[in-house]
Amino acid sequence: MDKSRPIIVLKKKGGHAGHHGGAWKVAYADFVTAMMSLFIVLWLLSSSKPVREAVAGYFKDPSGTSAKLGTSLAGAGENFVLTKDNMPKLKDQLEQKIREMRDFDKLKSHVEMTVTSEGLRIEMTESASGTFFDSGSPKLNADGSDMLITLAQELGKLPNKLSIEGHTDSKPYPGKANYTNWELSTDRANAARRLMQANGVGTTQITQVRGFADMRLRKPDDPFDSSNRRISIIVQYIEKSADEGSESPVPEDKPSAGTEDKKPEATTSTPAENSGKKE
């Protein structure tokens, strides 16, 4: 026997299950996808109508450029353009926000929103004892401040331009020889502008502040009615040019602030304030 020949020892390892090829990973991924789809469906079923419309609009138009349906007004910012077709949607959202205010029951009859040829007209009308402003004064009270802040926080998210109007009834303003309904209507519109710009509205978003005194009465047949005293906020339309789809504000009448002589327009207005004092 050749003792120099090497001895080779073979050891047999214990058996293992065969390789699965990773098929379980595919099955697990399908399961996770199905669960995610289920949760999305459940979330959509419990969401509000505007959210459902926004999600549906995204899948119809992911770029969000056709009718801006892929966005919602709540977070629209620069991506949402209010045109004549979708202005009622803003009206519905603002009305919902106002309903959430703590004094809604007291204020609901003094706020009116109407879609007009200019855009969305929001009218804050006064009662005989004053609703949003101190009687005979351009100073906003607590209810007036809360209402304007609520509106400013929503309108400030939009690219649309705004204009603000002040109106009075026909009672002469008492007490000051050089202070008339012209000054009062303009000062109230400016007070609204300052508060809105401090609470969400852009510094260049408001393009006009106009005081009309009693030249555009809400009730021409009753010029002393308190509902003639009001503040109007107009959210102007933006239309797209046919050539490049560029946006341009809809043209509107541009009366001089505090010097408008035109007769009242057939638009929605709201009472302003008149008690014994002229407002």
Q: State both tokens at 254.
A: 């541009």
Q: Can you tell me the distance from the alpha carbon of 200 to that of 89, in angstroms, rounded to the nearest whole number? A: 20
- Say what the alpha-carbon torsion angle 18, 19, 21, 22 is, to the nearest 10 degrees: 110
Cβ pair 230, 142 in contact under 8 A: no
> According to DSSP H, which parts of the chain are helical?
23-46, 49-60, 87-99, 104-107, 142-155, 181-197
First-to-final CA distance of the chain = 129
Domains and CATH numbers, the chain: 22-70 (no CATH), 78-279 (3.30.1330.60)
Three-class secondary structure assignment of 24-82: HHHHHHHHHHHHHHHHHHHHHHHCCHHHHHHHHHHHHCCCCCCCCCCCCHHHCHHHCCC
Q: Can you tell me the distance from the alpha carbon of 108 to that of 96, in angstroms, rounded to the nearest whole number? A: 11
pTM, 2 dp: 0.59
**The pLDDT of residue 266:** 37
- Give whole-number Cα distances, 41 to 21, 46, 171, in Å: 33, 9, 60
Kindly give the confidence (pLDDT) of every residue in the chain, 279 residues in length, as a single tens digit, with 9 standing for 90 and above.
566 777 777 766 655 555 566 778 888 888 999 999 998 888 888 877 777 777 777 776 665 544 443 444 444 444 456 677 778 888 888 888 888 887 788 888 889 999 888 899 999 998 888 889 988 889 999 999 999 999 999 899 888 999 999 999 999 888 777 899 999 999 999 999 999 999 999 989 999 999 999 999 988 899 998 888 999 999 998 865 544 444 455 544 444 344 344 433 433 333 334 434 444
